[in-house]
Amino acid sequence: MASTTSSQRLETAAAQAPAIELRGINKHFGAVHANKDIDLVVKRGTVHGIVGENGAGKSTLMSILYGFYSADSGEILVDGQRHDITDSRHALALGIGMVHQHFMLVENFSVLENVVLGAEDSPLLGKTLSKAREQMKALARDYGLEVNPDALIEDLSVGQQQRVEILKALYRGAEILILDEPTGVLTPAEADHLFRILKTLRDEGKTIILITHKLREIMAITDEVSVMRQGAMVATMTTSETSPAELAEAMVGRRVLLQVEKGSAKPAEVRLEVKNLVVADDFGIPRVKSVSFSVRAGEIVGIAGVSGNGQSELLEAITGMRNIREGAIFLNGKPLALTGDDAAADARAAGIAHVPEDRHRMGLVTGFQEWENAILGYQDKYGSGPALDIGGAKAAAREHIGKFDIRPPDTELKTANFSGGNQQKIVLAREMERDPDVLVIGQPTRGVDIGAIEFIHNEIIRMRDAGKAVLLVSVELDEVRSLSDRIIVMFDGHIVGEADPATADEGELGLLMAGVTHDGKAATVGTTPDVKTVTERRLMEMNPQQISDKDAEP
């Protein structure tokens, strides 16, 4: 190595240049200025987080980098070289790969076919496929990206599908990997696995851009973090030198109280009581195993637990969406008979309002206009006989919009065109404005931006103070702790402990959620419940949406 050739010198220069540099990127969609003069530098071999509320322009910016959109103005430099990225193919050729929030996979293709799709090197498939198979083995070995190459995508868990997306990018030679909200669809265990993979990738020299609105993830895995707000880049910081509070403030432009302010609860009579409840899932496997508890008027009871430990089934049973196998549910002391197809409507009529865990699947018809969703489930109250009182329904929708600050204030806009936070507000407004006795809320702020989270939390407290009984389930432990007056911890279908949020510490709750009992005896070790069969494990790795999809098939 006496002398360096010019090409080697060039390579060294490229190695010092940032992997990605964006200068003055602007993008308009009609009247909306989605990206305003964005400057961004992403260093090679780092995990770079981009945070911002929903609609801050993160995804648009990354779509421009990936060539899915083209910028109105501005420059993109990859490895110090200026490029006009015209389409996704161009971005891929430059070594930029993207893992989209909604996977871009062909569901009835094998993993292998998905990996090679669009990157086949000859008109005949045979050679390409055997080469890809070898390469997948190498990638699995190097990065822990194990997926069976011959499995069909539709048979894989969400976490595995995401691994296929990463494999796709790496197979195309991606050096820079963009991940858009990668943990939104993952269970906590799968998210952990993903982060391990990302760390390995970074250690191998890959550059990773992580788009998220979860501050915890930013703190856990990124080296640097950029904050976007309303289309503008407001700050870039070194993660180790910042704090969640500082990031949150930068995101929303004002200091946000992550701790909810609330007065003390004044619990009155018992509204909802559950006795020895046993509930099975779609496959007949018991998921709630003899659970008993009660919720009083004027208190919020939070159910904490790692997702997949029976909370979803419990909520669905109480709200009439799932038959109970044993036990009973009492409302105001009277037993509720919730069976048959009308059970959910019966529960509503009896005074149980329900904000479901998954607003897209259970809470809203996203193809409907806003006003239609605002009365969904209560439509019989509008008009008499077969006629619908559309004027009355729209008036109610307008009232909801005013009270809950739903934006844009347009009753005729398609619901799918509202942001996640505003969609959630539509559901909350619908359920809260019915003056129910009991309010059951699943994942109140999943996929909701910080500004809306604060609003939703305050509304829930307001319901409590108005004397309603509130049952809350959330996978966000912080949320359960800050909202609840009492915390119930579920593990493997059992209630394993009860805690007072004022005194319980995070470590103690964490142990309970992991199945370690009060007297210190470990029921099981690890963050996931014990499973006995392969089917059970598969079920546990799947998210609720997937289970329901499977259910739809004969």
Partner 1 sequence: MQYYTDLILILDSTVRLAVPLLLACLAGLYSERAGIVDIGLEGKLLGSAFGAATVAAVTGSAWLGLLAGIGVALCFSAVHGLASINLKGNQTISGVALNFLAAGLTTFLGQAWFQRGGMTPQLGNDQRFTPITLPFANELADVPIIGGLYSELISGHNILTYFAFIAVPLTAFVLFSTRFGLRLRAVGENPKALDTAGMSVTRLRYQALIITAILVGIGGTYLSVAQSSGFNNNMSAGRGYIALAALIFAKWRPWPALLVCLLFGFLDALQFRLQGIDFPVIGQVPVQAIQVLPYLLTIILLAGFIGRAVAPKAAGIPYTKER
Return residues touching partner 1 (CB under 8 A): 59, 63, 66-68, 87-92, 98, 100, 104-109, 113-114, 116-120, 122-126, 128, 168, 553-554
Q: Name all contacts of 418-423 with Cβ < 8 Å and 24+ positions apart.
A: 418/370, 419/54, 419/55, 419/449, 420/54, 420/447, 420/448, 420/449, 421/54, 421/448, 421/449, 421/451, 421/452, 421/453, 421/456, 422/452, 423/359, 423/360, 423/363, 423/364, 423/366
Q: Please, which residue, 179 or 509, has the CB nearer to partner 1?
A: 179
Q: How far is the CB of 217 from partner 1 (least distance, A)?
A: 22
Q: Please, which residue, 91 or 355, has the CB nearer to partner 1?
A: 91
Which one, of 79, 64, 76, 54, lies nearest residue 178 by Cα? Answer: 64
Q: Please, which residue, 100 or 464, has the CB nearer to partner 1?
A: 100
Q: How far is the CB of 100 from partner 1 (least distance, A)?
A: 7
How far apart CA 42 and CA 19 sit, in angstroms, is 6
Q: Please, which residue, 23 or 414, has the CB nearer to partner 1?
A: 414
Q: How far is the CB of 265 from partner 1 (least distance, A)?
A: 43
Q: Please, which residue, 284 or 554, has the CB nearer to partner 1?
A: 554
Measure CA 226 to chain center. 20
Q: How far is the CB of 93 from partner 1 (least distance, A)?
A: 8
Q: Please, which residue, 162 or 528, has the CB nearer to partner 1?
A: 162
Q: What is 227-284 written as a DSSP string?
A: EEETTEEEEEEEGGG--HHHHHHHHHSS---SSPP-------SEEEEEEEEEEE-TTS
Residue owning tokens 């998954």: 358
Q: How far is the CB of 302 from partner 1 (least distance, A)?
A: 34
Q: How far is the CB of 359 from partner 1 (least distance, A)?
A: 18
Q: Please, which residue, 164 or 473, has the CB nearer to partner 1?
A: 164
Q: How far is the CB of 213 from partner 1 (least distance, A)?
A: 17
Listed in sequence order, the residues at least 6 apart from 321 whose beta carbon sits closer than 8 Å to its beta carbon are 343, 344, 362
Q: How far is the CB of 487 from partner 1 (least distance, A)?
A: 38
How far apart CA 90 and CA 202 sit, in angstroms, is 23
E strand residue ranges, 5-114: 20-29, 32-42, 47-51, 73-78, 81-83, 96-99
Q: Please, which residue, 168 or 354, has the CB nearer to partner 1?
A: 168
Q: Please, which residue, 93 or 219, has the CB nearer to partner 1?
A: 93
Which one, of 301, 424, 414, lies nearest residue 357 by Cα? Answer: 424
Q: How far is the CB of 97 from partner 1 (least distance, A)?
A: 10
Q: How far is CA 211 from CA 49, 278, 320, in A?
A: 6, 40, 37
Q: How many CB atoms lie within 10 A of CB 462?
A: 12
Residue 474 has what DSSP assignment? -
